Amino acid sequence: MDTFSLLSSLRNTSGDTEFYLPTPPGYQPGRTKYVVVVGTVMSGLGKGIFASSLAKCLQDKRLSVAPIKLEGYLNIDSGTLNPYRHGEVFVLDDGTECDMDLGTYERALDQNLTRLNFCTSGQIYRRVLDRERTGGYLGRDVQMIPHVTGEVKNRLRELAVASMADVVFVEIGGTVGDVENAYYIEAMRELAFEEGPNNVCFVALTYVMEPATLGEQKSKAAQLGIRSLMQCGVQPHIIACRAKNPVTQKVREKIALYSNVPPDRVFSMHDCDTVYAIPEMLRGAGVDQAVIDWLELHPRIDEESERRARDVWTQYVNHLRHAKRQVTIGITGKYTTVRDAYASIIKSLEHSGVALGCNVEMRWIDAGDLDDSTVEAALRGIDGLIIPGAFGTRGAAGKIACLRYSRENRLPCLGICYGFQMAVIEFARNVCGMDDANSTEIDTECRYPVISLLPEQRKIEGLGGSLRVGGHDVAITPSTLAAEMFGEKARLRFRHRYEVDPQYIQRLEAGGLVFSGRSPRADIMQILELPQTVHPFFMGTQAHPELTSRPLRPAPMFLGLVHAALRRVDASTPPHVDFSPAPIEQPAARKAEQVR
């Protein structure tokens, strides 16, 4: 009898057992394997990039993979986190507001993730307390071990059942030694014990220092960090050493000696020129093969599928590295000192640049420093402009000034969410004669509240749920630029509270503004544009198109913006862009039921 079955029998036969094994219906031990990625020494090593790249390597072998991020903070989700502290809030199609690492996984794996792929301590504790209040523990005193750690394992197994994945990738946020993630690490120790040999692979991502004053790599911090992990009862099977330069054989041998990890499973993960090269770096070092060996996944892999996938990805990386043309896109925001606040926008521009054979240089412009008198100097030399999403009043005047300049000077422009709303306000003021037009978020007493809360949102505001968040269908108006991009309908992701007030739509359209995307079941404006006879590219969307851009499938609105910027730089650029390019498709992951 395997360990899991033995423990399950104890649970079923004795109310006095210390084991707590909540498992979802249909869970079969050993069917899904687990790769657990933890960080040591310091945060910011790129665990998400590393884990998603490693998951892609396995996916390329036609293994089905499912990631999950375990966050230590007590928030239920990431919706209220400050971008200065935590980067962007990434929104999933099902409306989950989560960590930006989920965007990294979606882009790397070309998957639409769900709430099952994101977990916080707040979620875990709430589930435990809800169960306790309803008598779910049969009178037991509820403890960190086994009940809280048991709920963590239950979340992983729920994902395994729902995804039917060959491998679940578990990324533990923070660093070994943090108080808030200690119980996650304990839960992973228990998971490995319960699932049995060769079903859980621990990967420790550590940091090898190279102080400039010494001129050599020092491994002591890495040794101590890994020892801290081992003191938690977790023996890593693979160690990935982050460093500026390739980690020497001597340093890797020293780390191996102090960690009980064979030297051939201690890998150098040094800096490279682009994150898109990391999957090939992992393959070249043999990290993916080490995982396959430890988890005994050889019968499930498809080498021919991997070869085709590598060819596609290599082609993408080569196009990125050897782009011959360049455009400059200005990003006018309020969090421009923190690039992570716009991580998905940065990636979307990269994807579009590769598709069009150009390098996109980004110029960061603080909207709070702009007004009508300074905007021309601030935008001088840029070829296109993005007005990104935000909340609140700071920077609104600067964004409106940028939109006016763009509209009047035919500068390609894309307004996103808050930028869409500011575009409506600018047009109402300067084209439609509504001088006092504004948003009630900025001025509740304005004469023309062209942007306001809709009645159905006002009804639920008191419940704290007034954000319209997640994926929604958008009906597209025929014979518009949006129709060229999406066809008859689009699926976009949203995160906003204010809308275009329906009573002003007719007046705005009479002035020449085209609302080319609307909600299918309500009079809610989702996409706006100016006719191309008036402006080469002027679009706005209440959605966040950056959230659905993928390396091999750029978001159409970003593709259109970069193409228009190229046309501005080089008139020989073809006047039309294919918004539905058909690159060589990556081989899809094999369906789990085909290998069971």
Residues serving a catalytic function are 417, 544, 546
Burial of 109 per CB tally in 10 Å (0-12, 13-18, 19+): buried
For residues 516 and 478, give the distance between their C-alpha atoms in angstroms, rounded to a whole number: 8
Residues 6+ apart with CB under 8 A from 286: 264, 267
Sequence-distant (≥ 6) Cβ neighbours of residue 560 within 8 angstroms: 414, 481, 485, 537, 539, 577, 579
**Residue 567 and residue 536 in contact, taking contact as beta carbons nearer than 8 Å:** yes
Whole-number Å distance between alpha carbons of 62 and 94: 26
- β-bridge pairing 118-120 and 384-387: unpaired
Distance CA 314, CA 503 (A): 52
Retrieve residue 362's tokens.
């980004």
Considering only CA atoms, which of 389, 533, 438, 399 is closest in space to residue 89?
Answer: 389
CB 420 within 8 A of CB 513: no
Using alpha carbons only, give the angle 305, 307, 312 rounded to the nearest 5 degrees: 95
**38 CB-near residues (< 8 Å, 6+ apart):** 47, 172, 176, 185, 188, 202, 203, 204, 205, 229, 234, 236
Beta bridge partners of residue 203, listed in sequence order: 37, 238
Q: In whole angstroms, what is the distance from residue 103 CA to residue 87 CA?
A: 12
For residue 491, what are the contacts with CB-CB under 8 A and spacing of at least 6?
93, 471, 472, 473, 474, 548
d(CA 334, CA 364): 10
CA atoms within 13 A on the CB side of 208: 28
Element (H, E) at 490: strand 489-496
Q: How far is CA 422 from CA 113, 260, 497, 512, in A?
A: 31, 58, 14, 16
Angle, helices 396-408/418-430, rounded to nearest 10 degrees: 60
CA distances from 191 to 64, 291, 326 (A): 20, 17, 50
